[in-house]
A and B are shown apart, each in its own frame.
Chain A
Amino acid sequence: MQRSIVNSYALRNDFPIFKKKINGKELVYLDNASTTQKPYSVIDSITDFYTNYNSNIHRAVYQLAEEATELYEQSRKKIANFINACPEEIVFTRNTTESINLIAHSWARSNLKKDDGIVITELEHHSNIVPWQILCQEIGTRLEYAGIDENGFLDLEQMIELISSKKVKLVSLSHMSNVLGTIVPIERIIKIAHEHGIPVIVDGAQSVPHMPVNVKNMDCDFLVFSAHKMLGPTGVGVLYAKKEFLEKMRPFMGGGDMIKEVFKFHTNYNEVPYKFEAGTPNIADVVGFGAAIDYLEKIGMENIRRHEISLTEYALDSILSLKYVTVYGPRDPKYRGGVISFNIADIHPHDLATIMNDHGIAIRSGHHCAQVLMQRLDVPATSRASFYIYNTKEEIDKFVNAIKEAGRIFKI
């Protein structure tokens, strides 16, 4: 087993929520694929912004507004640097969902036409399915799915076949499944798509928080992710797009800040990325996101990935030793993130989650916004445990004991 070099026991002191007791027990938070907890540095940076810098950005010339603008733009630089992009390639949105909708609206609507194919996969979150269904209904594009195999791996052959078909004009896929943890061979897919002149959108909501992601190496055309899944505040999402794409794209929303000049009947739009940030943005939370990036970089993304591989391996070994547990997705932690979906005999995930809650353990139960994948797996729902930097092996022991406890209550 690889040794983890993240000291999660020490890190936990940075997160005030772990002082909270649930049913008299210490909180064991295993719903990190949904959202993550926030360290003091993030919470304090938001308080600090409202206490010392609050004002609107980009317009006013007084000192306070200049300081606020500087903090907001510093965050953009930190995030650009984090994924090896340029600051003008970073657009702030509300979340990953909004980022995908922005691409569907501002790029796909103008660049795709009737009968053009859009390829997604059976692993996708609803946020990378529904915007394309809407577009298909409106302009007559066609949605195509690359499937998965029995072990939860993407069917690469089928993906390549779809990419090679002349009709396909866009590929949009998640880098890491939010249900199975599957990490897809993204660089290979992007390379093949580009050989056919097809742009690729990467849904990095699950990968960017948990492993090093470098847009230059990956060569994706778009990358989308959310702050709140990586220690940052809710209400901030990121759209990365290559500058040449952003420059040609239509605005998403019209209004203040996205304009250069407005006349009675026409408008000249602002430069990128501002063209896509209409209205007063979520300034304080963007600043908070910058603090989250600082925190993650201090630990190092390689270390975070190594820590999660170690936890995932430990958890898989423990729960697979229980004969009544079914685990979905790849077994080898090298090919998956720290997201484990499973079922226990005939115990419904909601019932398991209720029993876990008695022990202070927060796990997710349900379809995880991936009903297409649930249909593929032929299960109505799964239970899901997902890890982050502050999770420990001791917590996984508690989690496994709670599974055994559920087995006792349900007389399995």
Chain B
Amino acid sequence: MSDDIYREIILDHYRNPRNKGKLENADVTVHDSNPLCGDEIDIHLKVDGGVIKDVKFEGKGCAISQASASMLTELVFGKDLNVVKDLKKEDILENIGLTNLGPARIKCALLSLKVLKVGMVKYYSENDPKSAEQIENESSLY
């Protein structure tokens, strides 16, 4: 129930988001929103040598979508793109500790991953179309 969803850590990331803001000279910037509820997320990535050197997000929306985005930036910061491109929805739900969300709210939790995957596709499509296609095919999040 709600006490299990809105734990201290979710409220903390919602109210004190990590890596929030714009990123100057980002290699990739992606925006998406959930038309159903209006949650919005922008993700900016700086990539160097196949590694995410910096990541920032901007957004507005519910505690679940914003905390999830904040926690996702912490998860992928400094990570190899090969690791990031294999992230599954289960990894994200586990990362934020919410494995019992209903079908409507799960979209809030996964919006940032969706945006990140689109960003990866955008990044790869310029120099590695095969990986771009692989991510696109595996990105059926819902």
Contacts and interface: CB of A to CB of B under 8 A. Distances in A.
A410 B61 CA distance: 15
A381 interface: yes
B24 interface: no
Contacts of B105: 350, 354
Interface in B1-23: 1-3, 5-6, 11, 15
Contacts of A410: 6, 11, 63
A271 interface: no
Contact of A346 (B1, B5, B15): B15
A114 B62 CA distance: 43
A89 B38 CA distance: 39
A404 interface: no
Given A350-B108, A354-B5, A365-B37, A380 B61 contact: yes
Contacts of A354: 2, 5, 105
Contact of B63 (A23, A348, A380, A381): A348
A358 B60 CA distance: 24
A139 interface: no
Interface in B56-80: 60-64
A1 interface: no
Nearest to B101: A354
A366 B6 contact: no
Interface string A111-127: 00000000000000000
A381 B11 CA distance: 19
Contact of B2 (A348, A358, A367): A358
A381 B39 CA distance: 10
B37 A409 contact: no
B11 A411 contact: yes
B83 interface: no
Interface string B69-97: 00000000000000000000000000000
Contact of A351 (B1, B6, B36, B38): B6
Interface residues of A, number: 19
Among A351, A355, A366, A409, the one with the most B-chain Cβ atoms within 10 Å of its Cβ is: A351
Contacts of A355: 2, 6
Contacts, number: 43
Given A367-B38, A409-B2, A380 B64 contact: no
Q: Max chain A CB contacts within 10 Å: which of B11, B38, B63, B64? A: B38
Contacts of A23: 1
Nearest to B1: A358
B131 to A, nearest CB: 34
Contacts of A348: 61-63
Interface in B97-111: 105, 108
A364 to B, nearest CB: 11
A351 B3 contact: no
A214 to B, nearest CB: 37
Contacts of B15: 346
Given A350-B105, A367-B38, A409 B60 contact: no
Interface in A1-39: 23
Interface in A337-367: 346-351, 354-355, 358, 365-367
Interface in A229-257: none
Given A351-B62, A351-B63, A411-B11, A366 B36 contact: yes
A300 B60 CA distance: 44
B64 A381 contact: no
A358 to B, nearest CB: 5
A347 B64 CA distance: 11
Contacts of A358: 1-2
A411 B11 CA distance: 9
B109 to A, nearest CB: 11
Contacts of A346: 15
B20 to A, nearest CB: 15
16 contacts: A23-B1, A350-B62, A350-B64, A351-B62, A354-B105, A355-B2, A355-B6, A365-B37, A366-B38, A381-B37, A381-B38, A406-B2, A409-B2, A409-B6, A410-B63, A411-B11
Interface of A: 23, 346-351, 354-355, 358, 365-367, 380-381, 406, 409-411
